[in-house]
Structure 1
Amino acid sequence: MADYQIQNLSFRYPGETEPALDGVDLDVRSGDFVLIGGPTGSGKTTLLRLLKPQVQAAGQREGTVLYNGNRLEDLDLRTAAEEIGMIFQNPDNQIVMHTVWQQLCFGMENLGYPTSLMQKRMAEVVPFFGMESWLHQPVETLSGGQKQQLNLAAVMMLRPKVLLLDEPTAQLDPIAASAFTDLLTRINQELSVTVILCEHRLEALFPRANQVLLMEAGRIVHQGKAETVVRQVWEAKAPGFAPYLPAISRLYLQMEADRKEGPVPLTVKAGKRWFDRYWVRRPGVFGERPEGIRGEAPKEEPLLQCRDLHFQYGKKGPQVLQKVSFTLHPREFFVLLGGNGAGKSTLLQVLAGVLKHQGGKLKTRLAPGDIGYVGQNPLAYFTRETVREQLEDRAKSLDLGDRERMDALVRLFRLEPVLDKHPFDISGGQQQQLVLALVLLADPALVLMDEPTKGLDPTAKQALAGWLGQLLEKGKTILMVSHDIEFAAAHAHRCGLLFDGGLLAVAEPSVFFTENYYYTTMVHRTVREHLPEEVTEEGVLARWAITSP
């Protein structure tokens, strides 16, 4: 029997003229792993929330949702709480208790489970998740990856039949994201728990799913097994969905365009086997690396210099930053990577002047007003009722004499359609664009950005790359904290890895990512034995195009 049977489901939010969902049909069987992708505003999260009674949004719904053959609205709330678990994007939003073990027990306590049963289940769940060493720690001491792992473990204490996950890895570093999805795969395969997952970071998830949906404007546009969807998108020549496909699959489909049948590689393992055979079958097909694949990092006089920066929270707190040293040059795009809790956001706040470093030297040619800071949480920037009022209020506070700069930024970030909406009611990508516009109204020389690609779909990331390129052309300098390896590899001038309080391995992407084993791209893992200096799909295809028709 199917866990869910969704028939002609439509949904419209109050006050909206366009539906968020429009005639969705979907069957999800027990034990399925369903991956849902699509641009921001396509209806992914709305669909997910309509599958759990406790988090359904207010609005007009049409159609039918059956759970185990019965109408979902007829399911009693206790059963829904136990059998349908949900994990959200921000790990902190789901944690309500002080310690790890208290959070694990929270759901069972609310449902009146006896203490003996809670202890028995904890004795199983904690080893399964490898949480023994931090079971009694305060939650605030955990990394982002550990917090999301805790949320998943707390849901599993109720032994759910279904897990609904809304971009659960968006705020995790690459290693933590991989560990989380590995756990999710184990739960799906070993316990036959149904998984329905919305994500923008699809590359590593395609091979794990037995059903993939790509949505647009509230409709399912492509649906089927992962390989089937990959071929559907490619053969439909749908540029809007091509960025959602694994880069390895795109390489294969472009370089093997005459092959209409056979498996499309979805993983590094399958991709490497194909690429090894391709290399032998077509020797010499790759030319020398062309000039101009990537712009060189500027070599002008440094705009900012750090030497041995130290910072700790409180007199007895641990040293978050220890001997951090690096330089930034005008018109440079520098990406700072590292694990959750490594101190990346702290370093950005020190450079922005939000926090004061306690040791070392920070030398800059910039005045405080020349530095713009884009924090992780866009909602912290919004205080007015509409996007237009928010922009006008910022322009007034800066004493801008005319609207020319504001109007130019509205056009640049395509904010015209949402000017009269509340900032809380626009999409995550639009909120990120609005914050960028607010910061850039001050015309800063240095822009500090904390995870600006978080929650952005692939199309929005491409647009962001274009906007950042325009800023660089105007002479701006950009320092960005990110977990997005592929974005950094494709667009940064230099990258650095923050670890144990220090900044390591600062280099251009062609060096930084080729010398890394875990912090590198799937493309590099696939081709490195034959093209060791290539880290992006574009780099491989540029060399292939030199000698290929």
Structure 2
Amino acid sequence: MEIYTIKDVSFTFPEKEQDTLSHISLSIKSGEFVTICGKSGCGKSTLLRQLKTILTPHGKRTGEIYYGGQPIEGLDQRTQASEIGFVLQNPDNQIVTDKVWHELAFGLESLGYEQSTIRLRVAEMASFFGIQTWFHKNVSELSGGQKQLLNLASIMAMHPSVLILDEPTSQLDPIAAADFLETVKKINRDLGTTIIMTEHRLEDILPISDRLIVMDAGVIIADDLPHKVGQILSEMNHPMFCSMPSPMQIYAGVDNDLACPVTVKEGRQWLNAFLCDNKPAEMVDTKETIGISSRTVITFKDVWFKYEKNSPDIIKDLSFEVKEGQFYCIVGGNGTGKTSTLSLISGILQPYRGKVLIGGKNTAQMNAKELFTNNLGILPQSPQTLFVKKTVEQDLYEMLSDKPLTKEEKAVKIDAIVKFAELEDLLAMHPYDLSGGEQQRAALAKVLLLEPRILLLDEPTKGLDGFFKEKLALFLKKLNADGVTIVMVSHDIEFCAKYAEVCAMFFDGSIITSNTTQQFFAGNSFYTTSANRMVRHVWPNAVKVEDVIERCQTSR
């Protein structure tokens, strides 16, 4: 039985000539697990929002959408609320109450269920999702992963037939993301709920997907089993192939006639079969050296910080240094203190004990102008906090308002950053009307216009497709080569492993270990790359996809 049937659907936003969706036709069977991916701005989120009319953006739509054989426009709001669940990208945007138990009950109360039914369903969902240990907590006390799990549980309490998720793991650390996706898999497998999901991080999602749909510029370019879609993208030499799981990329880079692997487990089996006829290349232990200045630009000395006098410490006895021109990445779980550390570097927060030094000067003794004039640039975790104007173009010009530049000089700078961030078609739009990935690119463009000497990035790859990540990385490495110091907080392990010079692990308010990138990731079990987990039994220090492909190609 088909739960959704989409026939020749096109959609155009107001005052736009180009279709955001162009002649989309597909059907989704009841109980299917469908993943949709594509470059930022390709129309993924717009397509999802067509599937629940109360969330559909304003614009012109043609074509037909059927839910359970009925035109979707005929569904009343109660039916949509109870049968079509929707989980948003940002966990905080969906929570409406102050207590966990009340959030679980809110949807059922709104639908008018009697108290006994509400109590039963809330208890059932709390047990199913493992929420009983934080059932009475304030929502403000939860980590990002717990908030997203709460959103999911609150929707599932209404027993929906379809669960739609729009990049739900983009703000979660790798372990929390894996746990969340495992729960989604359990819902699909044990309850038979239809799952329709958009995602950029495909390593964990493809192994549990029945179908993978790839979109580009508002059209569907591939729709098949995940491993077949990978082969299609590889043959097309399409930029989205770099977003495919590492085992698929390694397979495509090595001449072989074996079956294409999707998971790390399948990748290990593929590698073992490949090496049956080929002697593994010798493992060369390369000691990484970091060619940077000996000048220290950021210093933490025994730093302690908490948000309120009687609240627990967020940062605990933190000491570390960042050298000039270094690309320094910080990884770790949600709520461990990574973002607070960036705020301490920027002077937004001040420690109650210890010192934070920028270029040898205490941030407590520096004013905002001294900190930010050609020195610090910050990309916050929420890009919307940077937008203050009605259009993207006005927002970009706002960053240069205090610069002693002519109108022509400002235009040259804006044109260059617009081309880099691929914002040409978005300049007239309100920043809040952009997709998550487009907002991230626009916010990054604003920060880079400052030409900072120290660049602080909080989850810069969130919502970005693999193609633009490569472009961003090349730009960051160029800045790095010019002596710009980069401190990046990220959950994107693959990005950190490929481009960072030094990586540090944050846990319980402090850095517990740091090392050169290869040595750091080669020693971890979960905070490491899929490529390393796939081949560590043969090549323990191989961290990047390129490392593995090179060793496979030289195995004889």
TM-score with structure 2 setting the length: 0.94
User: Which of 268, 293, 308 is equivalent to 1:272?
Assistant: 268
Partner SS state of residue 303, structure 1: strand
Q: Which residue of 2 aligns with 1:373?
A: 378
Residue deviations 1:190-226, cap 9 Å, x none?
1100000001111211111111100011111000111
* Corresponding pairs, count: 542
Could you say what secondary structure the match of 1:106 adopts?
Answer: helix
8 A contact 1:295–1:493 mirrored in 2:
no
SS of 1:513's equivalent in the other structure is helix
Mapping 1:160-179, distance limit 5 Å? 160-179=160-179
Contact 2:188 2:195 in 1 (8 A): yes
Q: C-alpha root-mean-square deviation of aligned residues, in Å?
A: 1.8
Superposition pairs of residues 389-468 of structure 1, within 5 angstroms? 389-400=394-405, 402-403=409-410, 405-468=413-476
Find the aligned partners of 1:96 and 1:242 in 2 and give their Cα distance. Answer: 38
Are the structure 2 counterparts of residues 67 and 168 from structure 1 closer, same or farther at C-alpha, using a change threshold of 3 Å? Answer: same
Whole-Å Cα distance in 2 between the matches of residues 203 and 183 of structure 1?
16
Residue deviations 1:54-91 (CA, integer Å, cap 9, x gap): 21112111111111111111122211111110000000
Percent sequence identity is: 39
Partner of residue 317, structure 1: 311
- 1:244 maps to which residue? 243
* C-alpha contact (below 8 Å) 1:288/1:543 kept by paired residues: no
Provide the C-alpha distance between the structure 2 equivalents of 1:105 and 1:52, rounded to a whole number of angstroms. Answer: 22
Indicate which of 460, 470, 481 corresponds to 1:473: 481
What is the deviation of 1:546? Answer: 4.7
How far apart in 2 are the matches of 1:285 and 1:234? 25
Matched, 1:31 2:31: yes
The yes-or-no answer on 1:383 pairing with 2:388 is yes
Q: CA deviation at 1:36?
A: 0.2
Counterpart code for 1:324: L
Tell me, yes or no, if the aligned pair for 2:163 and 2:195 is still in contact at 8 Å: yes
Q: Report the alpha carbon displacement of residue 332 of structure 1 after superposing the two structures with TM.
A: 0.6
Cα contact 1:290–1:542 (8 A) shared by 2: no
Q: Any conservation in 2 of the 1:287–1:546 contact (CA below 8 Å)?
A: no
- Equivalent pair of 1:32/1:195 in contact (CA under 8 Å): yes
Aligned: 1:125 with 2:125:
yes
Q: Which residue of 1 aligns with 2:290?
A: 296
**5+ long unaligned stretches in structure 1:** none
The answer as to whether partners of 1:289 and 1:543 remain within 8 angstroms in 2 is no
Find the counterpart in structure 2 of residue 305 from structure 1: 299
Pairwise mapping of residues 174-189 of structure 1 onto structure 2 (< 5 A)?
174-189=174-189
Q: In structure 2, what is the equivalent of residue 136 of structure 1? A: 136
The aligned amino acid for 2:390 is: E
- Equivalent residue letter for 2:401: K
Q: Given residue 282 of structure 1, which amino acid in structure 2 is its aligned partner?
A: N
| Secondary structure of 1:136's aligned partner | coil
Residue aligning to 1:94: 94
Is residue 489 from structure 1 mapped to residue 493 from structure 2 by the alignment? Answer: no
What amino acid is the match of 1:133? T
Distance in 1, matches of 2:265 and 2:449, equals 47
CA distance in 1, matches of 2:417, 2:482: 13
1:517 to 2:525 alignment:
yes
Cα 1:393–1:234, aligned 2, differ >3 Å: closer, same or farther?
Answer: closer
The letter for the 1-side match of 2:400 is A
Of 355-364 and 438-447, deviating more is 438-447
> Which one-letter code corresponds to 2:392 in the other structure?
V
In structure 2, relative to structure 1, the CA distance for the partners of 1:158 and 1:428 (3 Å cut) is closer
Q: Distance in 2 between matches of 1:93 and 1:173?
A: 18
Tell me the distance in 1 between the aligned counterparts of 2:137 and 2:291. Answer: 43
SS at match of 2:42: coil
SS in 2 for 1:372: strand
Note the alpha carbon deviations across 1:519-539, whole angstroms, 9 max, x for none.
111110000011111111012
Query: Can you list the C-alpha shifts for 1:231-271, whole angstroms capped at 9, x where unaligned?
Result: 222223x231211221111111221x342xx5311111111
CA distance in 1 between partners of 2:70 and 2:425 (Å): 41
2 CA distance for matches of 1:531 and 1:508? 18
Unaligned runs of 5+ in 2: 362-369
Name the counterpart of 1:363: 357
Q: Distance in 2 between matches of 1:416 and 1:486?
A: 29
* Displacement of 1:458: 0.9
Question: Could you list the per-position Cα deviations for residues 74-110 of structure 1 after superposition, in whole angstroms to 9, with x for gaps in the alignment?
Answer: 1222111111100000000000001000000000001
Kindly indicate whether the alpha-carbon contact (under 8 Å) linking 1:108 and 1:118 is maintained by their aligned counterparts in 2.
Answer: yes
Distance in 2 (alpha carbons) for counterparts of 1:56 and 1:184: 24
* Residues 42 and 518 of structure 1, relative CA distance in 2, 3 Å threshold: same
Shift of 1:137: 0.3
Judging changes above 3 Å, is the alpha-carbon distance between structure 1 residues 430 and 159 closer, same or farther for their aligned structure 2 residues? closer
Whether 1:530 and 2:538 are equivalent positions in the alignment is yes
User: 1:323-367, CA deviations, whole angstroms, 9 ceiling, x for partnerless residues?
Assistant: 111111111101111111111111100100000111112222165
Cα distance in 2 for partners of 1:326, 1:9 equals 54
Q: Residue 529 of structure 2 aligns to which amino acid in structure 1?
A: T
Q: Aligned partners of 1:182 and 1:414: how far apart in 2?
A: 34
Provide TM-score, normalisation by structure 1.
Answer: 0.95
Provide the C-alpha distance between the structure 1 equivalents of 2:42 and 2:145, rounded to a whole number of angstroms.
27
Report the CA distance shift for 1:80/1:407 in structure 2 as closer, same or farther (over 3 A). Answer: closer
Mapping of residues 16-27 of structure 1, within 5 Å: 16-27=16-27
Q: Following TM superposition, by how much is the alpha carbon of 1:376 offset from its aligned partner in structure 2, in angstroms? A: 1.2
Q: Is the 8 A contact 2:210 2:226 kept in 1?
A: yes
2:364 maps to which residue?
A: none
Of 128-137 and 76-85, deviating more is 76-85
Tell whether 2:343 aligns with 1:349.
yes
The code of the aligned residue for 1:497 comes to M
> In structure 2, what is the Cα distance between the partners aligned to 1:26 and 1:67?
12
Q: Give the counterpart letter for 1:115 in structure 2.
A: Q
Using a 3 Å threshold, how does the CA distance of structure 1 residues 223 and 286 change in structure 2: closer, same or farther?
A: farther
Q: Partner of 1:234 in structure 2?
A: 234
